[in-house]
Amino acid sequence: MRLRNVRGSRNIEDRRGRGGVAMGGGLGVGGLLIVLAIGYFTGIDVTPLLTGSGTQTSEPRELTQAEVQAGDFSAQVLGTTEAVWTEVFPEAFGKAYTPPVLVLFSGVTQSSCGGASGATGPFYCPVDEKAYLDTAFFAFMRSELGAEGDFAQAYVIAHEVAHHVQNEIGILPEVNALRQRSSEKDANALTVRLELQADCLSGVWAQHVSGLLEPGDIDEALNAAQRIGDDYLARRAGRVPNPHSFTHGTSEQRQRWFTNGYKSGDPESCDTFSARKL
């Protein structure tokens, strides 16, 4: 992805290097990635493993060069989402777009939706309208998921911003209310439709930044979508995939809905809630 002359967003809240709980304590990078894998593949909250072995510090630390680069990259990608949705959102939904804040953290942090850790992966909190990202997740994507490439990382950020788009148009709170009144099976099915719509909206963003793309970028996003499909992750964890437990969609579904958005460039192509077939 060509980002050399792209401005970085100012809607970044960088909590890395401020002290607090240092993730993983003496685990080391290798051990840290193993713990992350446990949480991601099994759905288990491994925050106690991280905070329990972490070190408490009030002293700020200097960011590593890799962290600086990851932060700059995240700010630039966020900037592209702001440019795209500032243009597309009013045309599609009839009102101005208000961008989210992207919180960069290391290890564990707090959100208005509760505690956050790198073990849970990137997420969006509709209460404070912020997306949360532990930039160590990029290394996890490469080493544990095999989702390599800068556009795979950009897709992850665009996906969380897409949840903010859903929040802005009222879909996210509506679905959350429905999930609270539903059985676990039905709530999971609603969540799958929500996540696939976010994948499609990520594809819309990708179409509108096509001038920044390099050969192979879309393949990187599709590979990432494949590696984070519920069925793929279940098999990686040694389990038989159970569709009733899916919360994000299969690899094929995630790839297809991203492609729908990318080919059309139109949010109207992302109505997963009316689709008979996902």
- Sorted by where each starts, the structural domains of the chain and their CATH numbers stand as 12-270 (3.40.390)
Output the CA torsion sign for 227, 80, 258, 201.
Answer: positive
Percentage of residues in the chain having pLDDT higher than 70? 85
Under DSSP, the state recorded for 277 is -
Q: Which two tokens stand for residue 241?
A: 């995939």
pLDDT of residue 117: 80
pLDDT of residue 32: 42
pLDDT of residue 232: 92
130: helix, coil or strand? Answer: strand
Return d(Cα 117, Cα 55) in angstroms, integer: 15
Query: Is residue 268 within 8 Å of 92, Cβ to Cβ?
Result: yes
Q: Which two tokens stand for residue 275?
A: 């689709």
Q: Which two tokens stand for residue 163?
A: 């949840």
pLDDT of residue 61: 85
Query: Is residue 124 within 8 Å of 198, Cβ to Cβ?
Result: no
Return d(Cα 194, Cα 248) in angstroms, integer: 8
Q: Are strands 20-22 and 55-57 parallel, antiparallel or unpaired?
A: antiparallel
Under DSSP, the state recorded for 1 is -
Task: Give the closest residue to 161 by CA, choosing from 58, 1, 12.
Answer: 12
Q: What is the pTM of this model?
A: 0.85
Query: Is residue 163 within 8 Å of 121, Cβ to Cβ?
Result: no
Regions of the chain short of the pLDDT cut 50: 20-58
Q: Which two tokens stand for residue 204?
A: 């819309």
Q: What are the residues whose beta carbons fall under 8 Å from the beta carbon of 94, sequence distance 6 or more?
A: none
pLDDT of residue 19: 58
Angle formed at CA 137 by CA 80 and CA 110, multiple of 5 degrees: 90
Strand order in 12-14's β-sheet?
Answer: 12-14, 101-105, 130-134, 123-125
